[in-house]
Structure 1
Amino acid sequence: MSDTTNDTDAAGEGTATSDGDADRPTTSVEGAGEPAELDGLAVDEAVERVRAREPDRDPETVRAALGFVAEDGVVSRDALRESLKLTSKVLTTAETRVELAGIALDDAREAAESVPDLPTVEARLEDFAAEVAAVENRAAALGEDLQAVVDDRADPAARFAVADGLRQVDERAREVQRTADEIQFDLEAFERWLDSHAVRVRDLGEDLDALAASLDDLATAVDAIEAASTGDAVETAAGEAGGNAAADSDAGVDDPARAWFDATCSHRATGLTVADLRAELGDLRTWADREGADPVGEGGLDDLAARLDDLDGRHGALGERLDAAAEPEWTDRFGEAVAAVESDLADCAPPVDWGVVQSTVEEHRADIGSDA
């Protein structure tokens, strides 16, 4: 990134009388009869002036932005100069962390060259490569955005726009840094996974724990749906008998049909989790066989395979309960949406792209939102 803070006149002194700036509106804003410059104003007064011109702006957002170009509570050119320097440093740090994430990706690729060529390994590397590319693009865009802010810094009338631009660049640069740090941390963990059968077994066990927790949540939802279905049956019988039995039924579900649809979507996605973990288990078996790394005994891949079989059985049973609980009105209302989800997820074979799964389910849930 080029240095944006070493100009002799970083805050714009001496620019208002230059030929190139002769037409710049440094003393008034179109449609407003008061001075446009904010320099020398207390932050509170500057906030009011900005909002007088742009009343839709959130006052706290305006205050936060002007804080970037204020010193001792007063907006000033000197404070702008210092903020430019600080924001440049924040962005430089973010760019450095992104470079380190790229180096970590190269190291992981090199480490992966010595392990079996398995889909589980390849998929992880592809995911990391996509993450690194995305954060690199975000960092590059920030450099362009900061340069745009610098280009406007000479105009006192643009002081708020510059301040708001600095605030946004600063916030996004810090987020880029956090993201790059997380990617680097995950890549280092990935290298440990590549290097150790015990780590791979442990991580797969943790994934099975997460699957079990998801099935627990799904079971709770199915319990409520079954109660709602029973409540509907009681209400129908009570209506036919002219009694008040329905008043004593509380299924705890505001919209049983929508709850059934959401649970059915979750069940389909969880089925992909089961398939994905089974494929990974198969890859780890192949890997272990080649290395002679998984002796028969407690805590190995055989135990994980037995756990996965049990979880697969739980998943199947929950699906049967969802099908049995479905009322005709529910399937009439959401049957086509369920079929669409199943159709769109049919191509999601292991290694599963979970971003695609999540976006697919969320899209269909949003599509039927107005009908819920």
Structure 2
Amino acid sequence: MSEPATAATPLDELIDAVSERTDEEPESIRTWLDPFTEDRTVTPAAIESSVTDVAQVLATAETRVDLATRTHEETTAAADDAPDLDIVDVRRRAFGDRLEDLQADVEALGDRLGEARSGLDSPVSMYRAAVDLHEITTDAQDVVRVAHDLETELEAFEAWVNSANRRHDGLVDEIDAAEESVAAVAETVASLRESDDPDLERRFEATLQTRVLELVVADLCAEANDLRAWADRDGVSFPGDVDERLDDLEAAVADHADALADGPEWDDRFDERLDALDAELDAVEPPVAWARVDETVSAARSALSDDGAPADEPVSSGRK
């Protein structure tokens, strides 16, 4: 890697030049230029060392993505014998999409590194290159983390594909979690009923949670049907109480929805948010893309918060 074509320049001189041409504070500029500095002078050697450090971090990110790619190939091959069911297909597609995103991210980081390294022909461009290199490092570290998580999840998916017990235990665990969520909503509904002046924000929050739980139960029912078909194909037993528990969940969620709807008319700010949410969620069918649902619900709450309601913790399905 050849050295950047820039002459050694006193740091204070560069800070003054950048400060005159931008709105940045001198101390902020000094902080960003610090990796380029030796003995209060910005030098080609210090710049090259900084670029090399960033390139090494990026190389680590590329390696992690390569490892995730290899694991994805192995997992996909292992899943070839699985039946043609939505619960398998949706997981495979989701993993493939996430891997493609990582591959695109690491390629874009390489392009940004090249641009930062070549943008050193003026004080301002040198300053911006220093900022970009820091951001590239941070983004590359994020890629490393996400790629590692993806690799771990792919390995878990392969184990899930290869073990009926894992699949069934996972379903039961998710039903347990849904029952806990429904119980929490039940407490809120009971509290609202007992109040002479029910809090509208709490009612809205419980309504959002109920909307999400309706999808959770529908998704669990679809997953249970697919897992039962898989078990029948392989001649293995399927948990006997799943249908009853899902029926109970469906009935409880419907009761909570009715109770929350049986109240004073919503004012415009709540009514508009719920109408928009329903329009989005009505188009969602199992297998559910939960990331999209969580974003939709968070957007509904954020919009309400912008109107002056308290910003509580966002509702999440807890599913992926």
TM-score bracket for this pair, using the shorter chain length: 0.7 to 0.9
Please say if residues 123 and 351 of structure 1, whose CA atoms lie closer than 8 Å, have aligned partners that are also in contact.
yes
- Kindly tell me: are residues 208 and 50 of structure 1, through their superposed partners in 2, closer, same or farther at Cα, counting changes over 3 Å? farther
Matched to 1:334, the amino acid is F
Cα distance in 2 for partners of 1:96, 1:345 equals 39
Q: Which residue of 2 aligns with 1:282?
A: 225
Aligned with residue 370 of structure 1, among 304, 307, 310? 307
Q: Which residue of 1 aligns with 2:53?
A: 86
- Kindly tell me: are residues 150 and 210 of structure 1, through their superposed partners in 2, closer, same or farther at Cα, counting changes over 3 Å? same
Q: Which residue of 2 aligns with 1:151?
A: 118
Cα deviation code 1:248-287 (max 9, x no counterpart): xxx6xxxx22332232122111110111011111111111
Aligned with residue 360 of structure 1, among 277, 281, 296? 296
Please say if residues 192 and 203 of structure 2, whose CA atoms lie closer than 8 Å, have aligned partners that are also in contact.
yes
The answer to whether residue 257 in structure 2 is matched with residue 319 in structure 1 is: yes
Tell me by how many angstroms 1:64 deviates: 4.8
Tell me by how many angstroms 1:225 deviates: 3.2
Please say if residues 95 and 139 of structure 1, whose CA atoms lie closer than 8 Å, have aligned partners that are also in contact.
yes
Cα distance in 1 for partners of 2:163, 2:25 equals 54
- What does 1:14-25 align with in structure 2 at a 5 Å threshold? none
SS in 2 for 1:302: coil
- Kindly tell me: are residues 11 and 336 of structure 1, through their superposed partners in 2, closer, same or farther at Cα, counting changes over 3 Å? closer
Q: Which residue of 2 aligns with 1:54?
A: 22
Cα distance in 2 for partners of 1:78, 1:332 equals 62
Q: Which residue of 2 aligns with 1:231?
A: 196
Please say if residues 68 and 167 of structure 1, whose CA atoms lie closer than 8 Å, have aligned partners that are also in contact.
no
Cα distance in 1 for partners of 2:163, 2:139 equals 36
User: Looking at CA atoms only, which structure, 1 or 2, has the larger radius of gyration?
Assistant: 1
Please say if residues 279 and 351 of structure 1, whose CA atoms lie closer than 8 Å, have aligned partners that are also in contact.
yes
- What does 1:1-372 align with in structure 2 at a 5 Å threshold? 6-7=1-2, 10-13=3-6, 39-41=9-11, 50-51=18-19, 53-56=21-24, 59=27, 62=29, 64-71=31-38, 75-153=42-120, 155=122, 158-227=125-194, 230-232=195-197, 256-294=199-237, 301-324=239-262, 326-328=263-265, 330=266, 334-368=270-304, 369-370=306-307, 372=309
Cα distance in 1 for partners of 2:66, 2:285 equals 33
- Kindly tell me: are residues 361 and 80 of structure 1, through their superposed partners in 2, closer, same or farther at Cα, counting changes over 3 Å? same
- Kindly tell me: are residues 57 and 258 of structure 1, through their superposed partners in 2, closer, same or farther at Cα, counting changes over 3 Å? farther
**TM-score using structure 1 length:** 0.74
Tell me by how many angstroms 1:49 deviates: 6.6
Cα distance in 1 for partners of 2:71, 2:211 equals 35
Cα distance in 2 for partners of 1:301, 1:64 equals 60
Tell me by how many angstroms 1:87 deviates: 0.8
Please say if residues 109 and 125 of structure 1, whose CA atoms lie closer than 8 Å, have aligned partners that are also in contact.
yes
Alignment size in residue pairs = 308
Matched to 1:12, the amino acid is A
**TM-score using structure 2 length:** 0.85
CA RMSD of aligned residues (A): 2.7
Unaligned runs of 5+ in 1: 1-5, 15-36, 233-250, 295-299
